Each structure stands twice: as C-alpha cells, then as structure tokens.
Amino acid sequence: MANAIRHITSARRSIPGKSTELSVVIPAAGVGKRMRSKDPKVLTEIALNTTLIERQLDLIWHVYPKADILLTVGYKADVIRKKLQKYPIRYIYNPLFETTGVAFSISLALQAAISKYCLVIYGDLIFNNDAISSITDGKSKILIDDTNNFNEDEVGLIVDEKKHISNFSFGLSKKWSQIAYLEGKELELFKVACYNEDTIRWFGYEALNQIIDNGGTLESHSVPSAMVFDIDTPQDLQKAKSILN
C-alpha cells in the first residue's frame, strides 16, 4: 500500500474545556461528478467568492478557534491547496483516491492526527454552528439528522433504548448527518478499521459498524436547531442556500 504524503503546517489548536488539541478531519479526496464541475466538489462556489470548503473552515474555527484541521485530498489536490493557501491547515494526500473509499481517506488523516479527540466532517456538507458546537462534549457521538434534509437513499441508523447506535445501513428512516465525534476506544478502532487491503474501499458507515462490532459505543447526538445539507447535486446546493440564507 502506498504511503500517504503529509503536508504539515504549524497549526495546533486546542479544544475548549480539554487539555489536548481537537483534530478535525475533512475527507475531500473524491471527484464529485454529480456537481457537473471539473473542479473538486469542495471548491463549489456557494456564495460570492466563497467556496464550500472555505465556509466549512471559517465555521469550524468560529466554533473551535484552536482546532487542528486535517484535509484529505486526492483529485486535483494542487488546485485545492492553491485556493486554500491562506488557511493554516494540514493536507493529507490519498494517492489511491480513485480506488479507495472515504473511510480510507479518513483513516489516513487519523494516522497523522496528534489529538485524543477527533471530529470528522464530510467535505461536501453545508452546516450551521449548532451542528458541531456541542458534539464534542462527552463520549464518541454521531450527529442525527433531525430536519429531514438528507435524501432517502442516504445512510440511516438504528438507535437503541440507551440512545446508542446499534447499526448503520441503507433503507433506514433516521439518517446520519455525516458528522461524527470520536475519542478513546472508538477513535483507535476507526484508525485501524480501514488501514488494510481488505477494507480500503469501505464507506464511512462501514467503519462505524466495525467500531460497534468490536465493542465500541457510539452515542446518538440530536440537536433540533442543527442544519446539515449533503451537497451531491446543484439542486442540493440551491435547497441549502434557500434555507440558510
């Protein structure tokens, strides 16, 4: 397996209320063909002179001003780096982005993370402050979509009587918002789940199921005021703009 190439800045930012830094991992290595653009999806312009990834970075640092952000890149990585040259983030290159799944991209970044606490936010999301402001309080958590902004074909989940996630799968009505907070045992389990030849094509939810199968606990995290949109098509972008603006 090819080694990841690490491009590291000096940015190290601590999580409020905890002595160790918070790492924020944003997987953004894919092509995003359905956006009908030759550029990576994260460079989609969502407002005048503002791209999807720039909005994410600005909001993350607003909520967590000392976060250490790791962006996993692959497709047109040089274009992303040029656009974001003013941002003190760390780049993790996935040289196998065309043949690996998002879980592998996340795992590469987790190998480079220096923190005991990690917030994973998919790179094609538009969200508000409330979606991420309280998820780092406590143990490993999965943000639930409470506003029905995710399509029926997105990954869903089952929550048991203890408000723990018991399974991730397609065809379930309750949806995962593609934001997860990991620490402790769950963080270590994710690190190893997708860093081998048998699992490098996994989706993120498959790695989360592996955490559960191996004894990890993922709490459901519900925030009624949280707004999260998965931007797969131009229509998704227009919907997000109409609600958030």
Please report the domains of the chain, with CATH numbers, ordered by start residue: 5-244 (3.90.550.10)
89 pLDDT more than 60: yes
Lowest mean pLDDT among 12-26, 56-70, 130-144: 12-26
DSSP secondary-structure letter at 35? Answer: G
CB 52 within 8 A of CB 43: yes
Strands 228-230 and 165-169: unpaired
User: What pLDDT score was predicted for residue 245?
Assistant: 63
Mean pLDDT for all residues in the chain: 88
Task: Classify burial at 188, counting beta carbons within 10 Å of its beta carbon; exposed 0-12, middle 13-18, buried 19 or more.
Answer: middle
Lowest mean pLDDT among 119-123, 172-176, 228-232, 233-237: 233-237
12 pLDDT more than 70: no
- Which among 25, 24, 46, 44 has a CA at the least distance from the CA of 33? 44
177 pLDDT more than 50: yes
Could you give the 3-state DSSP secondary structure of residue 58?
Answer: helix
Output the six-digit token pair for 223: 């925030």
63 pLDDT more than 50: yes
Q: In whole angstroms, give the CA distance from residue 178 to residue 239.
A: 18
